[in-house]
Structure 1
Amino acid sequence: MKQTFKSSIFRLSVVLISALGLSAGTPAPKSKAPAGKPNIILIFTDDQRYNTIHALGDAQVITPNLDRLVQQGTTFTHAYNMGAWGGAVCVTSRAMLVTGMTVWDVYKEEKDYSRLFNKQGFWPQQMKKAGYETYMTGKWHVKQKVEDIFDHVVHERPGMPNQTPEGYNRPLSRTDTTWQPWDKKYDGFWEGGTHWTQVVADDAINYIGEASKKDTPFFMYLAFNSPHDPRQAPKRWVDRYPVDDIKLPVSYLDEYPFKEEMGAGKELRDEKLAPFPRTPYAVKKNIQEYYASISYTDEQIGRILEALRKSGKLDNTYIFFTADHGLAVGHHGLMGKQSMFDHSMRPPLIVSGPDIPKNQKRDQNVYLQDIMATALDLAGSTKPAHVYFNSLLPYIKNKNAPSQYPSIYGCYMDRQRMVRTDRYKLIVYPKASKTLLFDLKKDPEEMHDIADLASSKPILKDLKAKLIQQQQEMNDELDLSAYL
């Protein structure tokens, strides 16, 4: 009898040790009679753009461990964060991820999570109901006491390591070397003596060692603060990226003309990191430090994956890798993630594990928050009614499966709205009475607004109708009638 995809994901006959290529050293021990349910690990970075992995399009960045994960898994090339109700975009992204709720619905819930908590609506609570031991280390940044919903919590971190005045408005020139990524005197990621990125890896390795002695399936939520600013990393990684070799983004601008109206102006914390107007050198320096932080994070992820291999649990473990959103770092004259451009909304998303197709890509539009529903699917658990997002497994099974999201919705406070299809993107700036339209097939860098072209009228009409429909679906109360 032919086995279905859903049941085949639980088979343990596929040995991924050599395929992952994580080490050519000591062979991994055999798993000891693993439980029927697979282990699930989320590796979650902060501010990492979709193409900042060497294997996913950026030839400059050095990420050998994430490259191997790409090679041995399936990558979703068009995963999105839905948006945010405030400047700390990560708060909204993470709230959606751990509840499965849409941006405006979880915004209302966030004021008092007790109802959701009492009905065990959080992701780790659902995993515990499914028989999992749950573990968390690193950044949380959700208004729910983390110890109440995970079995084990180690080194819970705040939204970001402390920045210092010296970390902003820099560099002003090539001689401006006051702040250096490896200098521990400003604390930040170095607070406590060990870089927080290494601490996450150390914590994860310790837990994997303990879990290797048990048959209970585990769910690990490993949340790095990096590569969020202050983008600190050991000097050996910064030196791998000579600033003069860094390429400027194709969409580089000295200043974005609608930065104030869109809510990403001179008073926004993220935008203060580099001088106004932007300079090529300042942007290159920030990119250098961004890449160094990503490479150092990749190194620590490699340590986690190697520990998993040695534990004997790898062949029964699914790994999700993503970030809470992207980051501009000089694209369109912006530095942060508070925009509707793909560089700010779109993180990488990789799935690896038993029966996951290797070195394949899926181009369907999805949300990164689909990971929760996917994990519940893998755990054999029914998705709760309040979860809006959907499992990725149908796309993994069938690369031609249509997206469950014919268009992607995006929002930022009351300053920006967006709708995106496979071909076109509409962005609305209500405070500027401005509507932008991009042909993503011809203009993937979103540099040429075609909203005023006569040929764009039917496209605009269609996208405006889609945006109104999305607003209704998302319980978005912003009135755009004057602009649509």
Structure 2
Amino acid sequence: MNIKSTIVRTLSFVSLLLVAQAEETKPNVLFIFSDDQVYEAIGAYGLIDIDTPNLDRLANEGTSFSKAYNMGAWTGAICRASRSSMNSGRFIWQAEAASQAIGKGELQSWSQLMAERGYETYMSGKWHVPEVSVPKVFDHTGTVRAGMPKQTPSGYNRPKNAADYEQGWKPWDTSKGGYWQGGKHWSEVLADEGVGFIEMAAKKERPFFMYLAFNAPHDPRQAPKEYIERYPLERIQVPENFVPQYADQGNKGVPIIRDEKLMPFPRTEYAVKVNRQEYYALITHMDEQIGRILAALDASGKADNTWIIFTSDHGLSLGHHGLVGKQNMYEDAMAAPFIVWGPGVKSGQKLDTPIYIQDAMATALDIGGEVPEDIDFKSVLPLLDGSVEQIHDSIYGAYIDTQRMLLQDDWKLIAYPKLKKVKLFNLEKDPQEMHDLSQNPEYAEQLQMMIQSLEDRMDSLGDPMESLSKANYPKKLKKKVEDH
């Protein structure tokens, strides 16, 4: 062997060694994803009376974002659209095509980009990106759930009253399947598998990227009976902005689809309290499973070099404005918790700068190296260290062809193109969105500015609707409106 080839081989070995050493020191990334969790549903925030000690720990030891939004959906299944954006890194109107490209091997998913940066990748729980096969884009998988647990017919239109509740379906009844399908609650299965992977990863030097996606607290809101009993109805408060019937509900506004049929019409305070009781119980049960995952991380010896990002795919109305689901543009449906915990992250900090929940993807890529230029979402790391004050100048939302939204500074515009109607709110003064200012002459100029800004944003994002005044929507984008 000549000297030249020896030098080349030595340099190659040194290069590989440096890469291996770099991978050893890269932080691990643990992404925990809930389903249908409204921002208020973390006890540490003091907005509702709910027990979430482990999420409280993440919030108290990390940084929370109080305005983290999903963009909406081109289909009734908001979670599908949200997860397509999360895993492709593309804004709403490009996410479905991007997911199809990932499925064909023409584009890389979030997990594949993390693997490219030296990470061993793992996924367990809810996926709901039907165009993409999980085993093809993750190194390891646990139990992958395609969508929601099976809802029973007796889980709808309930409870009409106390007698109806006593005679009807109970969330701890294991005979109806749902979260109990398979013999063990799905949240517990996810925790078992997450703990198992962490214990395996503890023996390795390679950094890991974990994608743990709970189905909770999506309906059917099933939890063991002792968790329901922690929330007697006298402990449950009805939302301040509760009304028995939302005025703009119907095919041209907020649709009456699956989610909205879980409670009777008109809404009653009793029905809202029971549904919220079951929702809180399922979240507390999920929180306990998150505690098991955090304990395993602590025991692994890798916690000091691990970042945790916790968020949900969107919020949930559950009585706010007389609505139940998430197919609307109000804060409770659009906004979700978003917590970042990790080395050097300021403890107990709460930031109110608006972000998208899918900024979690860009943040993880930033932790692992760099964010590709074709990713639409932004890393929140510059917000954490205070180097920038905002990463998005506005927040856009859309739901099929019936609703559009723009949040800009303290102002929020909700448009119903088919109803030829808009609503204007000042979130600083009216966080519950109870006072529509669109008909107030004092805010006429602000209203027109917001309408124009929304129209401009629709154009820049490739919104298939030509304009708010022309609620046209290409037929190829019209899908059956149902939630999964």
Q: TM-score, normalised by structure 1?
A: 0.90
How far apart are residue 261 of structure 1 and its match? 4.1
1: CA distance, partners of 2:157 / 2:222: 16
1: CA distance, partners of 2:290 / 2:54: 7
Paired residue secondary structure (1:171): coil
Aligned residue pairs total: 448
Matched, 1:84 2:81: no
**Corresponding letter in the other structure for 1:411:** A
1:255 corresponds, among 221, 236, 245, to 245
CA contact (8 A) 1:33 1:215 kept: no
Paired residue secondary structure (1:118): coil
Paired residue secondary structure (2:179): helix
**Corresponding letter in the other structure for 1:157:** R
**Deviations, residues 191-238 of structure 1 (Å, cap 9, x unaligned):** 111000000000000001100000010000000000000000011110
How far apart are residue 281 of structure 1 and its match? 0.4
Aligned to 1:150: 138
Matched, 1:172 2:160: yes
Aligned to 1:8: none
Aligned to 2:3: none
* Higher-Rg member (1/2): 2
Aligned to 1:466: 453
How far apart are residue 33 of structure 1 and its match? 12
Matched, 1:306 2:295: yes
Equivalent positions of 1:402-481 (< 5 A) are 402-481=389-468
How far apart are residue 44 of structure 1 and its match? 0.3
CA contact (8 A) 2:70 2:82 kept: yes
Aligned to 1:278: 267
1:219 corresponds, among 209, 221, 230, to 209
1: CA distance, partners of 2:248 / 2:462: 26
Matched, 1:387 2:409: no
1: CA distance, partners of 2:100 / 2:417: 26
1: CA distance, partners of 2:391 / 2:207: 30
2: CA distance, partners of 1:218 / 1:354: 16
CA contact (8 A) 1:166 1:179 kept: yes
2: CA distance, partners of 1:94 / 1:72: 27
2: CA distance, partners of 1:270 / 1:413: 16
Query: Which deviates the most, 253-262 or 155-164?
Result: 253-262
5+ unaligned residues in a row in structure 2: which ranges? 1-20, 472-484
Paired residue secondary structure (2:210): strand
Alpha-carbon distance change, 111 to 204 in structure 1, aligned in 2, over 3 angstroms:
closer
1: CA distance, partners of 2:148 / 2:253: 21
Aligned to 1:28: none
CA contact (8 A) 2:255 2:327 kept: no
Alpha-carbon distance change, 196 to 408 in structure 1, aligned in 2, over 3 angstroms:
same
1: CA distance, partners of 2:53 / 2:109: 33
**Deviations, residues 320-359 of structure 1 (Å, cap 9, x unaligned):** 0000000000111110000100000000000001111111
1: CA distance, partners of 2:405 / 2:201: 43
CA contact (8 A) 1:261 1:432 kept: no
Matched, 1:192 2:179: no
How far apart are residue 109 of structure 1 and its match? 3.1
**Deviations, residues 68-120 of structure 1 (Å, cap 9, x unaligned):** 111110111111001111111000100001111000011333455445x334x
2: CA distance, partners of 1:124 / 1:158: 17
1: CA distance, partners of 2:232 / 2:426: 34
CA contact (8 A) 1:38 1:316 kept: yes
2: CA distance, partners of 1:440 / 1:315: 38
Aligned to 1:36: 25
CA contact (8 A) 1:410 1:419 kept: yes
2: CA distance, partners of 1:344 / 1:443: 16
CA contact (8 A) 2:380 2:391 kept: no
CA contact (8 A) 1:435 1:483 kept: no
**Corresponding letter in the other structure for 1:339:** N
**Corresponding letter in the other structure for 1:461:** Q
How far apart are residue 56 of structure 1 and its match? 1.6
**Corresponding letter in the other structure for 1:476:** D
Paired residue secondary structure (2:321): coil
Aligned to 1:118: 106
**Corresponding letter in the other structure for 2:169:** W
More helix by share: 2
CA contact (8 A) 1:263 1:338 kept: no
1: CA distance, partners of 2:272 / 2:230: 17
**Corresponding letter in the other structure for 1:299:** E
Alpha-carbon distance change, 311 to 262 in structure 1, aligned in 2, over 3 angstroms:
farther
How far apart are residue 406 of structure 1 and its match? 1.4
5+ unaligned residues in a row in structure 1: which ranges? 1-31
CA contact (8 A) 2:262 2:324 kept: yes
Could you list the runs of 4 or more consecutive aligned residues of structure 1 that deviate by over 6 angstroms after TM superposition? Answer: none
Aligned to 2:147: 159
1: CA distance, partners of 2:333 / 2:286: 20
1:208 corresponds, among 177, 180, 198, to 198
